Structure 1
Amino acid sequence: MSLPAYFISDAHLGVNPPGARADREKLLVEFLESICGKASHLVIVGDLFEFWYEYNDYVNRNHFELFFALRELVRLGCEVHLLCGNHDFAYGDFFPKSLGVQVHRSLVLEIQGKKVYFHHGDGVAKSDFGYRIMRRVLDFPPNRFLFKQIHPDWGMALARFVGRNSRKIGESREINLQEYLGWGASILKRKKCDVCIHGHHHISGIWDVEGGVVASPGEWIWKPAILRMEEGGLSLEML
C-alpha cells in the first residue's frame, strides 16, 4: 500500500489579518513534522507566504522552523513541491538548492495511479484581469532587479503594505466557483489528467466535473485545511 499524499494552499505566512489564526505557522510546522516518513508527496499549491523575495545573502529568519521541517521531510523520502502563487512568485534557488523542495509555476504528477495537474489558480477568473497585467509588470526581469536593490527590511515593509491593500480589495470580490470548475474541466481534457488541484480562491472542496475531479485544499489563514490523497481517493481534513 502506497503512502498518502498531502496538498495544502494559501497559508499566507507573514501576515495576520483580523480574525486570522495566530499560531498557524506553528500548526503548519507541527503538521509537517507529523507526516515525516509517512507521506509520499507534499504539494504546497501556492501562496505559502504573503510575500517572498530572494536576495543573494538574505533569507527571512521568521520561517526557520518551517525551513527545517521541509528539509527533514525531503530527507526522509517525501517528494516536496512548491508552486508559485500570486503573492509569492519571486522564488530563486533557495528552496531547491538548500531544502530540496522543487519549485514550479504548474505541475503534473503521477500519484497512486492518477495523473494530477497542479496550479495555484491565479489568473483564472475574469476579475483577475488587472492582476494579470500587474503580475507581468512585477515579474518583468528589470523590475525584479530594481526591487532587489532595496534593503530587505524596506522591501518587506513595502510588500506587506501593498499586500494589505490588495487583500482589502479582494475580500469584497465575489467568487464565481463555476469559472474555476469550468477551467478545471478544460485542464483535465487538455492535459489528459484525472485530477486538477488548485488554490487561490480559499474555498476548500472536492467537485466532480466532466472528465474527472477538481479539488482545492482551501486556506490556512482562518480555517487551516489539508487535502489528502490515499488509494487514489481525495478527502479534506480541517485542523
Structure 2
Amino acid sequence: MKLFSLCLIVCLLQPGCDRGQNQTVMTPSQKKKRMLNDPILKHKVSQMALDAEVLNDIDWLVRTGFYVKTDLMRIICEEVYYQYSLNTDQVSATIDERLAAYRAEQKNWPDVTDCDRLDQAFARMEKRGLITLENAGNTQSDGYEIFEDALQEHPQPKTVIGYCFYHNQDLERVVGELPLYLAFGPVAPKEEETKGVAIGNIVREELERSGLEVEWEGTFHDRLRVPGMVWQKRIPE
C-alpha cells in the first residue's frame, strides 16, 4: 500500500490538528500506511507492467478530483514510484483511460454534488473569518502548520478568527465512502477551550446551510463529521 506515502507527497502541493481534538482510531492497515512514509518499507513494483497497486493509486488520485494529468504523471513516476522503472507510456495511457472514465461519470452527476455543497460552505466560512483548507497535509498537526502559513500570507490576518480543514487521511476515508472528518479551532492554541466551540458552531451552521448532514458532540475535543457524503469532485480542466 502506498496511498499514505502518496498522500503525504501530493498534498503538500495544496494549501486540526492533533492539538486537543480526538484522533480517529487507526486500523492496522492505516498504521501500516503510516509506516510507508519510509521508502525502505515500500513494496517493490513490477518494472514490466503496472501492477494492481499502481493502478489503484492512479484510480484513487483521479477520484479525489484534485489532479490533472501532468500532476498525476509527476506524482506516480517521479515521486511515489521514483525508485522503480515504470513504463511511462503505460502510466500515461492508464491515466488517460481513468480520467476519461471519470469525466464520463461526471455527466451523470447531479448539478450540485456534495463536494459543491462543501465548497459553498467553505466559501461562507471564509466570509465569517475562517481560513478553510482542503487536502491539507497528512495529519491534524500538518494541517495546523499549513493554516499558520496561510495566516501569515493572508491579506488581512487580523480578521481571521479560526480555521477549518480536512487532511489526506480524511480525504482517503471519504473517497472510500466513509464520513468526512473536519478539524477546526481558533487562531491561538491557548484559546481552544474558550473559543473552540464557537468556531465549531460556525462550521456546523455553514455545512447544514449547504444541505450537508453534520454529526458533532458540541465540544472542541470532537471533530465534526459529515456522514453519507458522496465524493464527486469535478476534475479541473
Fold shared per TM-score above 0.5: no
| Greater per-residue helix proportion | 2
The two structures have a TM-score, normalised by structure 2, of 0.28
The two structures have a TM-score, normalised by structure 1, of 0.28
| Greater per-residue strand proportion | 1
